[in-house]
Amino acid sequence: MDTIKLVQLEAKDWSKRYALQDFEMNHAKQVKAYHQSFPQYTETPLVEMTRTANHLGIANLYVKDESYRFGLNAFKVLGGSYAIGQYIAKKLGKSIAELTFGEITSPETKKLLGDLTFVTATDGNHGRGVAWTANQLGQKSVVYMPKGSAIERLENIQKEGAEAYITELNYDDAVRLANEKAESEGWIMVQDTAWDGYEEIPIWIMQGYATMALEAVEQITSKGLQPPTHVFLQAGVGSMASGVTALLAQYYKESMPVITIVEPNEAACLYETAKADDGDIHVVTGDMNTIMAGLACGEPCTIGMPILRDYATNYISCPDTIAADGMRVLASPTKGDMPVVSGESGAVTTGIVAQIMKNSELLDMKEKLGLTEKSVVLVFSTEGDTDQKNYEDVVWFGKYGK
Ligand SMILES: Cc1ncc(COP(=O)(O)O)c(C=O)c1O
């Protein structure tokens, strides 16, 4: 089997951990209230896969199914739409707490704002969310996609009225191109990763992901389910993983679950950063040829990493076959459990849990993570079949099987 690698960081003393003042519970509730004002809002399902979990040798598996998010088949719109809301609130001299979807999309607001162009670089899901929000606002968007992006994802962005292109660049270079264009054309860059000097919008995007995590913990609590002992979070630049980790830390405090970050071998920049553990960010370069398109990012988000360093102890790097396994497990769970349609970047966390529990060669990893028959695992299936052709090839026809 292709390599699966784990790096473990020592758990830090709670009082010495990075302060989460940008991610307080009250703020998370405000983010959720903002999203709830969208007519398309409904809570996404939290699927309990108890039989599958028992079959794997753990007590329970909760899967937050983001394929139902705003009709866009992925969670990403939460970040882009919140950041655009915050940008507009700031421009209007208002607080986001006073702004609803209805107000930001009103003709009066449009008149006050004039013509705006939002620009971003994306594998698909983030760009679709930005394009959708800009479209709802009667504004423009331009989206640059890395080379090799799926035509279906491009077309879904174009359907939202965006000017969108598949470039000849890898993800990180596409981000640089979008940034240059924002500067030269006076466009607003809505990127889901931060670097020195570009932090306000990425923080808003990370805060936007709180809705997904808050819904999940509230669903667990209101259904009277056992809280998770382990949460597996997939990472591209790590904004989603750090936003969710911050919410879990605020909600569960010292009894927060063990957090494990999962990345593709070709783009394991958080894994490399954790492995070096020297306080610096470590990047991965090259084409990042992986089926996990949403995770094919080589440069960790600079504002996310300090949160993960202090609250996430495990970092896994794994091959594409694990994402494919996860897609199949979720599509075809143990009889009696509800299936979940999960794409490559959405399913890798389920794939790694299944592999670690079932593969005797990974016993050591299972022990290091503390996974036992008492463990309750929470994963976020962050996308549905956003690349339908590949979904069918993997789930129906066994592509990337062993
Ligand atoms: C479906 C999906 N899951 C997870 C992620 C990872 O998010 P982040 O880049 O914030 O780590 C992405 C990023 O685009 C994605 O599209």
Query: How do beta strands 230-234 and 376-381 pair?
Result: parallel
pLDDT on residue 152: 92
Q: Binning pLDDT at 50, 70 and 90, where does residue 196 land? A: confident
Quote the CA–CA distance of 106 and 115 in Å, as a whole number. Answer: 14
**Residues contacting 1, CB < 8 A, separation 6+:** 319, 321, 359, 361, 402
* % of the chain residues with pLDDT over 70: 100
Q: Binning pLDDT at 50, 70 and 90, where does residue 265 land? A: very high
Residue type, 2: D
pLDDT on residue 195: 87
Tell me the per-residue pLDDT of 84-103, one tens digit each, with 9 for 90 and over: 999 999 999 999 998 998 89
pLDDT on residue 64: 99
Q: Binning pLDDT at 50, 70 and 90, where does residue 162 land? A: very high
pLDDT on residue 104: 86
**pLDDT beyond 60 at 44:** yes
From ligand 1's centre to the CA of 241, what distance in Å?
A: 9
Highest mean pLDDT among 86-100, 114-128, 214-228: 214-228
170 phi, psi to nearest 5 deg: -80, 175
pLDDT on residue 285: 94
Q: Let me know if 320 is a catalytic residue.
A: no
pLDDT on residue 387: 94
Q: Binning pLDDT at 50, 70 and 90, where does residue 310 land? A: very high
Maximal CA-CA distance, the chain = 63
Structural domains of the chain in order of their starting residue, each with its CATH number: 5-75+202-395 (3.40.50.1100), 77-191 (3.40.50.1100)
**Residue that has been written with the tokens 């004039």 in this structure:** 114
Structure tokens of 223? 């259904």
From ligand 1's centre to the CA of 114, what distance in Å?
A: 31
**pLDDT beyond 90 at 189:** yes
**Which one of 65, 76, 320, 385 is the catalytic residue?**
76
Q: Binning pLDDT at 50, 70 and 90, where does residue 341 land? A: very high
Ligand 1, atom nearest to 235 Cα = 11
pLDDT on residue 63: 99
Buried b / exposed e over 337-368, threshold 16 CB at 10 Å, is: beebbbbbbbbbbbbbbbbbbeeeebeebbee
Pocket probe for ligand 1: among 295, 305, 352, the residue whose CB has the most ligand atoms within 8 Å is 295
Tell me the per-residue pLDDT of 349-370, one tens digit each, with 9 for 90 and over: 999 999 999 999 999 999 999 9
**pLDDT beyond 80 at 1:** no
Contact predicate 62/349, CB 8 Å? no
386 phi, psi to nearest 5 deg: -70, -15
Quick one: average pLDDT of 271-287?
95
* Long-range CB contacts (within 8 A, 24+) of 24-29: 24/250, 25/250, 25/251, 27/207, 27/210, 28/207, 28/210, 28/211, 28/213, 28/214, 28/247, 28/250, 29/214
Q: Binning pLDDT at 50, 70 and 90, where does residue 193 land? A: confident
Quick one: average pLDDT of 147-159?
94
Quick one: average pLDDT of 166-186?
95
**pLDDT beyond 90 at 28:** yes
Quick one: average pLDDT of 229-246?
98
Mean residue pLDDT across the chain: 95
Quote the CA–CA distance of 254 and 267 in Å, as a whole number. Answer: 31
**pLDDT beyond 90 at 123:** no
Quick one: average pLDDT of 28-46?
96
Contact predicate 111/137, CB 8 Å? no
pLDDT on residue 274: 98
From ligand 1's centre to the CA of 236, what distance in Å?
A: 5
Cα 175 to chain center, whole Å?
Answer: 17
DSSP secondary structure of 233-258: EE-SSSHHHHHHHHHHHHHHGGGPPE
pLDDT on residue 124: 85
Q: Let me know if 76 is a catalytic residue.
A: yes
